[in-house]
């Protein structure tokens, strides 16, 4: 049975960060965090244990703090932001299955304090921005 170990019973929002830009008239436009979908996405979420993080560090690897498993969505990329249960995470790695039709494994770290989106920076869903 495919995907039997990942029960997607949680929801998370995925955001794309757009930098501000200056248009031809000199007015500053854009900027902010745009959701990639109109509603939160169903996912499986798991925090990595301290043992896994420590063992990876001993081997010289950087193990991320949280794993999200989404259904395949080509819009999810590296360096996006995920809001899950009020906490913010920044994606560090996105792995797909070979067929690109199954699950996406998205690894994320806690966002640094200065990089956490403010409520004023979160924009409404706009399909032209993603």
Question: What DSSP line would sit under 73-127, residue for residue?
Answer: -TT--TT-EEEETTEEEEEEEEEE-TTSSSEEEEEEEEPPGGGSPPGGGBPPP-T
Specify the pTM.
0.81
- pLDDT by residue for the chain (130 residues), tens only, comes to 455 556 788 999 999 998 887 778 888 877 889 999 999 999 999 887 777 667 767 776 666 688 899 988 889 999 999 999 999 999 988 888 776 678 888 988 888 777 888 888 899 998 887 7
Closest CA to 130 of 74, 58, 89, 92: 74
pLDDT at 52: 66
For the domain made up of 10-121, the CATH class stated in words is: mainly beta
Whole-number Å distance between alpha carbons of 111 and 130:
21
Closest listed residue to residue 74, CA positions, set 46, 89, 94, 44? 94
């Amino acid at each position: 049975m495919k995907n039997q170990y990942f029960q997607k019973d949680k929801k998370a929002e995925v955001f794309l960060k757009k930098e501000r830009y200056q248009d031809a008239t000199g007015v500053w436009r854009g900027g902010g965090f745009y959701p990639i979908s109109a509603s939160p996405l169903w996912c499986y979420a798991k925090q990595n244990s301290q043992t896994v993080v420590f063992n990876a560090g001993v081997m010289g690897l950087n193990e991320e703090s949280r794993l999200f498993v989404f259904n395949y969505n080509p819009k999810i990329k590296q360096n996006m932001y995920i809001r899950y249960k009020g906490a913010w995470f920044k994606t560090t790695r996105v792995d797909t299955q070979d067929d690109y039709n199954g699950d996406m494994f998205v690894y994320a770290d806690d966002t640094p304090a200065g990089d956490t989106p403010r409520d004023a920076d979160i924009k409404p869903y706009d399909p032209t921005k993603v």
